[in-house]
């Protein structure tokens, strides 16, 4: 018995398999991209200032139904955040002073060098 070879059928199957393989691999890349949330997106930043922290502290102090351990833990966290915010304001002021001093330093150096 002689084996009959059908090259026309095989040539149609291979490109079809190749096309399916390309589609399958291309779609897995799309799944991988959508599976990583937040990539390429801006994160949401919450504006926290002294006023909002004081309002939170007041709300915790006036709220009923919170056990004392939880209340004291929350209050300590909010008060630490308040302290950190005041430190940030002080450090920002110092940074501005240092930047101004850096700008003025060359002129003061020249004046000091001329005076001696």
Longest Cα separation, the chain = 113
Given this model, what pLDDT does residue 11 score?
Answer: 54
Distance separating alpha carbons of residues 87 and 68, to the nearest angstrom:
28
The two tokens of residue 13 are 């199957």
Question: What band does 23 get if pLDDT is binned at 50, 70 and 90?
Answer: confident
**CA of 36: how far to CAs of 12, 29, 73, 79, 93, in Å?**
38, 11, 34, 35, 39
Express each pLDDT in 32-76 by its tens digit: 555 555 555 555 667 788 899 999 999 999 999 989 999 999 999
Domain parsing of the chain, residue ranges: 50-115
Given this model, what pLDDT does residue 21 score?
Answer: 67
* Sequential DSSP letters for 75-89: HHHHHHHHHHHHHHH
Given this model, what pLDDT does residue 113 score?
Answer: 87
């Amino acid at each position: 018995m002689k084996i009959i070879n059908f090259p026309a059928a095989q040539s149609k199957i291979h490109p079809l398999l190749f096309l399916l393989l390309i589609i399958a691999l291309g779609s897995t890349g799309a799944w991988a991209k959508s599976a990583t949330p937040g990539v390429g997106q801006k994160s949401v930043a919450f504006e926290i200032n002294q006023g909002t922290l004081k309002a939170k502290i007041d709300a915790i102090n006036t709220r009923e139904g919170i056990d004392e351990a939880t209340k004291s833990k929350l209050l300590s966290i909010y008060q630490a955040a308040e302290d950190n915010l005041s430190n940030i304001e002080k450090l920002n002021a110092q940074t501005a002073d240092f930047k101004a001093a850096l700008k003025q330093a060359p002129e003061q150096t020249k004046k000091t060098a001329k005076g001696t």
